[in-house]
């Protein structure tokens, strides 16, 4: 019991260190009641508008932002030295001012619409204050990277006329910038906060109730039952459980710490090196942001930005996500075989039947939400039904049943879970506003294409680097907003299909979390595993090789995204890609049937890559290379020789 308590305390400390959204005040007495009341009112507002219909865009988004900013300032201190057990008077003032600035839009909505384009002195003051408070809220909850990027964009808008070269524009004065960023639906109150105020909040509330029912424990037990006995069982358990949890948490770091507290010690105990154990958890947790149906809540933004249906988004994401996780699974398997690691004894593991009989009913809400989405219901309606079903299904068994207090606390937790998204989306709105006002997206696209001299492969490479840089330390939703606004236009200029372009930048923005030198998710996993962070990050990037390869493939072969394909083509593409990933994962591990020579590793890597490419003749060559290595390895093992 003491050891488990120590692990939980260590996990909480790591989470607060690497996930700013988890480092909030823990208030008592009157302060706690005030926070609970505001959170519950926030959630009730979202439920009311979800059930009876949203208000006009500006009003809906402004009220949503008012609640969000108010709670951010009350819950998140300005710095580490500020008290965590009581509110600071300055934060109370900032909370009131932030809420008032947003409600200014609601109270004077008609006047603002009637004088569109004209900014009064009061409008200017309110707008400037709102922009500053959005930036400060993002700093507290999200961190400096996003605030710095947004600040650079504001400076670019104001002083763009003085910048030489292609990035120059005629400049924007302060009044027009403030009006565009805060008093239109092109900036802070734009699409990101619009999606946050409708779809995303309700799905975060759904996730909060699933957590209340013990869904996390269910996923871990189910993963243990499915894969705990296999070679390197605990690592495969981490892959399954983290992939499932990642669709609910919306945060790579939170997922790492949540599931990693259980899986990483199990992996280390079995014989995996700490760096590898941390890498497995970091890679699997990060992949949760790429896994339908939620995709870290970015799926709804992708649908809005690409002007397509939500069902098409999750359809496009499913095969790349399968390839991503299959790549991790293969890497874990070959590493286990290389080290001679076995799984856990079946006596130590629950049976699948036992797990499903105990908590299998918790899967019903997830099945319900997927059904409603695929059946064509709006995401809002699907989320509302899912929330209701999660509460009702939990009542089936005493172990998962929620009391009235639990249900009320779920309302509060849903609002708390939304704060990072609210702050990030509002800050991302500043970036979008500057881009739409200055035309920076097309300028950046032209520059990237120019650097690549019009070559698609080079354009993809430069876009990948841009997305990796822009994705550093930024939450999933804001991450996608930034990369799609800045990096995706380059691919669109090259004629890449819209969905493929957006999925490409989305993927590389997300895997910035496991890409050295920053690799935030890997660093958090290293904290849990007590391993060296950079080595953990390198191992994580190696395990995520599919994430680095697959985006290139679906740009050249959009069939992977279910674009212009049929079932026969899709089956062939999927099989060859899976076999190809086995080859690449094996080459990176250095073990196939037995340990490999350098030449065998090169043949496997090349053959694997050729099989991932969607071309029958190239696939045939890749298959020949893999078959040749298989024969060599089989012969070598039969003779008892060892590769060097």
- Let me know: does 316 contact 299? Beta carbons within 8 Å: no
Burial track 480-491 (b if 16+ CB lie within 10 A, e otherwise): bbbbbbbbbbbb
Lowest mean pLDDT among 91-100, 577-586, 605-614: 605-614
Instruction: Choose among 333, 287, 327: nearest CA to 542.
Output: 327
Our measurement of the distance from residue 200's CA atom to the centroid of its chain's CA atoms, rounded to an integer in Å, reads 13
Q: Give the start-to-end residue ranges of the domains of the chain.
A: 2-145, 566-644
Mean pLDDT of 170-195: 94
User: What is the DSSP-derived secondary structure letter of residue 76?
Assistant: S
Our measurement of the distance from residue 592's CA atom to the centroid of its chain's CA atoms, rounded to an integer in Å, reads 32
Q: How far apart are alpha carbons 355 and 476 in whole angstroms?
A: 31
Question: In DSSP terms, which residues pair with 596 in a beta bridge?
Answer: none
pLDDT, tens only, 49-82: 999 999 999 999 999 999 999 999 999 998 777 8
Q: Is the pLDDT of residue 644 over 50?
A: no
Q: Is the pLDDT of residue 160 over 50?
A: yes
Q: How far apart are alpha carbons 149 and 471 in whole angstroms?
A: 11
- How confident is residue 250, by pLDDT bands cut at 50, 70 and 90? low
pLDDT, tens only, 396-430: 988 888 999 999 999 999 999 999 999 999 999 99
Mean pLDDT of 24-44: 92
- Which pair of tokens denotes residue 292? 């339908």
Q: Is the pLDDT of residue 564 over 90?
A: no
Mean pLDDT of 187-206: 93
- Which pair of tokens denotes residue 189? 């109150």
How many other C-beta atoms lie within 10 A of the C-beta of residue 518? Answer: 19
**Between 8 and 228, the higher pLDDT residue:** 228
- How confident is residue 298, by pLDDT bands cut at 50, 70 and 90? confident
Q: How far apart are the first and last CA of the chain?
A: 46
Q: How far apart are alpha carbons 289 and 512 in whole angstroms?
A: 12
User: What is the DSSP-derived secondary structure letter of residue 288?
Assistant: G
- Let me know: does 521 contact 285? Beta carbons within 8 Å: yes
- Let me know: does 216 contact 263? Beta carbons within 8 Å: no
- Long-range interactions of 567-570: CB distance < 8 A, separation 24+: 570/319
Question: In DSSP terms, which residues pair with 591 in a beta bridge?
Answer: 595
Q: How far apart are alpha carbons 520 and 248 in whole angstroms?
A: 19
Q: How far apart are alpha carbons 393 and 369 in whole angstroms?
A: 13
Q: Token match 């490999």: residue?
A: 596
pLDDT, tens only, 436-463: 999 888 888 898 999 899 899 999 999 9
Q: Token match 């009542």: residue?
A: 395
pLDDT, tens only, 91-144: 999 999 999 999 999 999 999 988 877 889 999 999 999 999 999 999 999 888
> What pLDDT is attached to residue 252?
81
Q: Where are the alpha helices (DSSP H) in 142-173?
A: 144-159
Q: How far apart are alpha carbons 538 and 517 in whole angstroms?
A: 9
Residues contacting 163, CB < 8 A, separation 6+: 156, 169
- Let me know: does 271 contact 335? Beta carbons within 8 Å: no
Instruction: Choose among 283, 213, 278, 206: nearest CA to 249.
Output: 206
Lowest mean pLDDT among 12-26, 55-69, 143-157, 180-194: 12-26
Q: Token match 């098409």: residue?
A: 312
Mean pLDDT of 39-50: 97
Q: How far apart are alpha carbons 448 and 389 in whole angstroms?
A: 48
> What pLDDT is attached to residue 571?
86
Give helix 404-438 / helix 476-486 axis angle, nearest 10°.
10
Q: Is the pLDDT of residue 642 over 80?
A: no
Mean pLDDT of 354-367: 89
What's the whole-model pTM score? 0.89
Residues contacting 132, CB < 8 A, separation 6+: none
3-class secondary-structure state, position 354: helix
């Amino acid at each position: 019991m003491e050891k488990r308590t120590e692990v939980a305390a260590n996990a909480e400390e790591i989470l607060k260190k690497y996930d700013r959204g988890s480092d909030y005040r823990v208030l008592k007495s009157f302060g706690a009641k005030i926070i609970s009341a505001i959170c519950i009112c926030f959630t009730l507002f979202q439920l009311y508008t979800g059930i009876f219909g949203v208000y006009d865009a500006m009003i809906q988004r402004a009220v949503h932002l008012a609640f969000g900013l108010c709670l951010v300032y009350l819950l998140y201190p300005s710095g580490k030295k500020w008290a965590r057990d009581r509110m600071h008077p300055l934060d109370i003032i900032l909370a009131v001012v932030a809420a008032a600035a947003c409600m200014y839009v609601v109270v004077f909505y008609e006047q603002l619409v009637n004088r569109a384009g004209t900014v009064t002195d009061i409008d200017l003051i309110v707008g400037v204050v709102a922009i500053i408070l959005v930036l400060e809220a993002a700093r507290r909850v999200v961190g400096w990277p996003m605030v710095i990027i947004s600040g650079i964009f504001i400076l670019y808008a104001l002083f763009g006329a003085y910048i030489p070269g292609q990035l120059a524009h005629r400049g924007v004065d302060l009044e027009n910038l403030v009006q565009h960023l805060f008093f239109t639906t092109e900036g802070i109150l734009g699409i990101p906060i619009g999606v946050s105020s409708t779809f995303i909040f309700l799905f975060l509330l759904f996730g909060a109730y699933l957590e209340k029912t013990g869904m996390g424990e269910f996923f871990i037990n189910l993963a243990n039952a499915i894969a705990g006995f296999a070679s390197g069982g605990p690592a495969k358990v981490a892959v399954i459980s983290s992939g499932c949890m990642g669709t609910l948490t919306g945060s790579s770091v939170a997922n790492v710490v949540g599931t990693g507290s259980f899986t990483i010690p199990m992996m280390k105990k079995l014989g995996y090196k700490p760096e590898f154990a941390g890498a497995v958890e970091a890679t699997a947790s990060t992949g949760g942001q790429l896994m339908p149906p939620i995709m870290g809540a970015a799926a709804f933004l992708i649908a809005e930005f690409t002007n397509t249906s939500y069902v098409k988004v999750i359809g496009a994401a499913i095969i790349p996500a399968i390839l991503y996780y299959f790549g991790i699974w293969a890497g874990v398997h070959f590493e286990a075989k290389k080290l001679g690691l076995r799984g856990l004894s079946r006596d130590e593991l629950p049976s699948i039947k036992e797990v499903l009989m105990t908590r299998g009913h918790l899967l019903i809400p997830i099945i319900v939400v997927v059904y409603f989405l695929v059946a064509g219901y709006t995401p809002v309606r699907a989320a509302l039904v899912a929330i209701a079903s999660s509460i009702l299904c939990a009542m089936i068994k005493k172990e998962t049943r929620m009391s009235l207090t639990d249900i009320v606390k779920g309302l509060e937790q849903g609002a708390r879970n939304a704060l990072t998204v609210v702050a990030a989306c509002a800050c991302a709105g500043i970036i979008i506003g500057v881009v739409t006002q200055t035309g920076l997206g097309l300028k950046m696209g032209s520059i990237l294409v120019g650097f690549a001299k019009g070559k698609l492969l080079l354009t993809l490479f430069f876009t990948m680097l841009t997305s990796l840089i822009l994705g550093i330390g930024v939450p999933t939703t804001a991450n996608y907003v930034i990369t799609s606004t800045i990096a995706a236009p380059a691919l669109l200029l090259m004629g890449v299909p819209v969905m493929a372009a957006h999925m490409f930048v989305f993927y590389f923005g997300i895997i910035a979390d496991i890409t050295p030198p920053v690799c935030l998710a890997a660093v958090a996993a290293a904290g849990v595993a007590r391993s060296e962070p950079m080595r953990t990050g390198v191992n994580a990037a190696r395990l995520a090789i599919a994430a680095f390869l697959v985006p290139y493939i679906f740009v050249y072969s959009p069939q992977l995204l279910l674009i212009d394909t049929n079932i026969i083509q899709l089956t062939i593409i999927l099989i060859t890609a899976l076999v190809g990933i086995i080859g690449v994962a094996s080459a990176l591990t250095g073990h196939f049937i037995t340990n490999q020579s350098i030449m065998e590793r090169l043949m496997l890597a090349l053959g694997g890559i050729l099989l991932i490419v969607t071309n029958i003749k190239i696939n045939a060559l890749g298959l020949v290379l893999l078959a040749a290595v298989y024969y060599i390895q089989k012969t070598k093992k039969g003779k008892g020789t060892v590769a060097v």
